[in-house]
């Protein structure tokens, strides 16, 4: 199966879970490659968001407090960076700040933008994996480098008690 096929399989698995909810850009309306990987996720579980990443991350934390497991989708890793306030100062630290009273769990899906067939510019294809692993202490950061690990890592993120960022590589979508 291709990288994209494995993503479809993983999203179908997550979409079948009772408490999951998907939010982000191009989750209910077409616009990027991630949209096509959600084809087996019910539309009733997908919530299209405008471009306001920091608010989306805050909403994801709040949705988890209300019993949902948010799959918060940021189609390009470059724009996940605009959610760093909520990501680093809140999601990553709430457990410690609340003396373990709260332990929010959000599954964050993002991608390193494709440079094929055209280079999209420096603000659309950066890889901040190392920086996120360095900054975040209570969030697992997983870079998906081949198709064989995709389903396993998304299932592991769903079963974990911690939040997880899963980083895809858009240039691998057609590879096996």
Contact call for residues 168 and 111 (beta carbons, < 8 A): yes
Residue-wise pLDDT for 147-169, tens only, equals 999 999 999 999 999 999 999 99
Domain of residue 49, residue span:
3-172
**Measuring CA to CA, how many Å separate 87 from each of 49, 90, 112, 171?**
17, 6, 18, 26
Using CA atoms in the order 143, 148, 150, 155, what is the torsion angle rounded to 10 degrees?
A: -120
**Measuring CA to CA, how many Å separate 46 from each of 73, 97, 121?**
10, 31, 29
Looking at the 3D structure of the chain, how many domains does it have?
Answer: 1
Residue-wise pLDDT for 22-45, tens only, equals 999 999 999 888 999 999 999 999
At residue 41's C-alpha, the angle toward residues 40 and 42, to 5°, is: 110
Residue-wise pLDDT for 111-160, tens only, equals 998 888 888 888 888 999 999 999 999 999 999 999 999 999 999 999 99
Strand-by-strand arrangement of the 20-24 sheet: 46-48, 20-24, 69-74, 107-112, 163-169, 139-143
| 169: three-class secondary structure by DSSP | strand
Q: Where are the alpha helices (DSSP H) in 108-170?
A: 129-135, 150-159
Residue 176 has a pLDDT of 85
Residue-wise pLDDT for 41-98, tens only, equals 999 999 999 999 999 999 999 999 999 999 999 999 999 999 999 999 999 999 999 9
Residue 157 has a pLDDT of 98
Mean pLDDT of 2-31: 96
In this predicted structure, the answer to whether residue 172 has a pLDDT above a threshold of 90 is: yes
Residue 124 has a pLDDT of 86
Residue 57 has a pLDDT of 98
Q: For residue 31, what is the domain's CATH number?
A: 3.40.50.970
In this predicted structure, the answer to whether residue 171 has a pLDDT above a threshold of 90 is: yes
**Pairing assessment for the beta strands 139-143 and 107-112 based on DSSP bridges:** unpaired
Residue 119 has a pLDDT of 81
At residue 89's C-alpha, the angle toward residues 45 and 164, to 5°, is: 45
**Measuring CA to CA, how many Å separate 137 from each of 8, 46, 95, 97?**
29, 29, 11, 13
Residue 65 has a pLDDT of 96
Q: Compute the residue count for the chain.
A: 176
Residue 122 has a pLDDT of 81
Distance from C-alpha of 7 to C-alpha of 151, rounded to nearest angstrom:
7
Residue 61 has a pLDDT of 98
């Amino acid at each position: 199966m291709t990288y994209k096929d494995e993503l479809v399989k993983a999203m179908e698995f997550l979409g079948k879970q009772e408490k999951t909810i998907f939010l982000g850009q191009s989750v209910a309306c077409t616009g990027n490659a991630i949209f096509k990987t959600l084809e087996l996720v019910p539309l009733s579980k997908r919530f299209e968001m405008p471009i306001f990443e920091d608010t989306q991350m805050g909403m994801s934390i709040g949705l988890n407090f209300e019993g949902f497991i948010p799959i918060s989708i940021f189609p390009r890793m470059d724009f996940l960076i605009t959610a760093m306030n909520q990501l680093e100062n809140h999601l990553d630290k709430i457990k410690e700040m609340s003396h373990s009273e709260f332990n929010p769990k959000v599954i964050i899906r993002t991608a390193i933008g494709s440079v094929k067939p055209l280079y999209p510019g420096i603000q659309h294809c950066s890889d901040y994996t190392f920086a996120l692993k360095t900054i975040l202490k209570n969030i697992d950061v997983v870079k998906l480098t081949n198709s064989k690990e995709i389903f396993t890592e998304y299932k592991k993120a769903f079963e974990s008690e911690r939040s997880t960022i899963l980083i895809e590589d858009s240039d691998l979508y057609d590879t096996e």
